[in-house]
Structure 1
Amino acid sequence: MRRILILSLCALALAACEKKPPPIESVESLVANPQRLKELREACKADHAKVGDAQCNAVSEATRRRFLGSGQSPYAGDPVKPPAPPAAESAPPASSAPKD
């Protein structure tokens, strides 16, 4: 009985000592720190599994934001109007046709 207790305590101690993944740097912090972004981008290219999917996804999103900016086009307020809808509405309604 005592052995079972000791073994279970050892198992609990080993489970408590399990390595936790390092915290993931946010996209905003990576956009603000281009040197760290470059380091992590190279680390993701070298060993994606070691860095982890979540961190590499944040790195790729930060790279995209730095390259594309906010995503707003300088031409977003372009005064060009969209084309008019098709002329199907200009046909006379069937109820106004002359009756014989």
Structure 2
Amino acid sequence: MNKVLLLTLAATLTACSPSQPSETVDFLVANPKRIKEIQRLCKEDRAKVGDELCRRAAEAANRRFFGDRPEKKSK
């Protein structure tokens, strides 16, 4: 019984931890609503959200805006 309680507690605590590292730039590019949400959170409390996630959201927004256009070659 004690082991089950500890396992349940560990699973609960793991579920409560932020899953920000899984939100890569590519993931965010595919999810524009999440980009907007992260940008809003970054404006409200950047320290809580974290610089890394705010940077990823900014990079994803740039990629969505500019797209993956090939660079023009100059002659």
TM-score (norm 1): 0.51
Partner residue in 2 for 1:23: 20
Query: Runs in 1 of length 4+ with deviation above 4 angstroms?
Result: none
Distance in 2 between residues matched to 1:51 and 1:37, nearest whole Å: 13
Secondary structure of the equivalent of 1:49?
Answer: helix
Unpaired runs of 5+ residues, structure 1, are: 1-16, 83-100
Match of 1:72 in 2: 70
RMSD value, Cα = 2.3
Give the number of the structure whose alpha-carbon radius of gyration is greater. Answer: 1
Structure 2, unaligned stretches of length 5 or more? Answer: 1-12
Report the 3-state secondary structure (helix = DSSP H, G, I; strand = E; otherwise coil) of the residue aligned with 1:66. helix
* Bigger relative contact order (CA 8 A; separation at least 6): 2
State the one-letter code of the partner of 1:51: V
Structure with more helix by fraction: 2
SS in 2 for 1:70: coil
The separation in 2 between residues aligned to 1:40 and 1:63, in whole angstroms, is 11
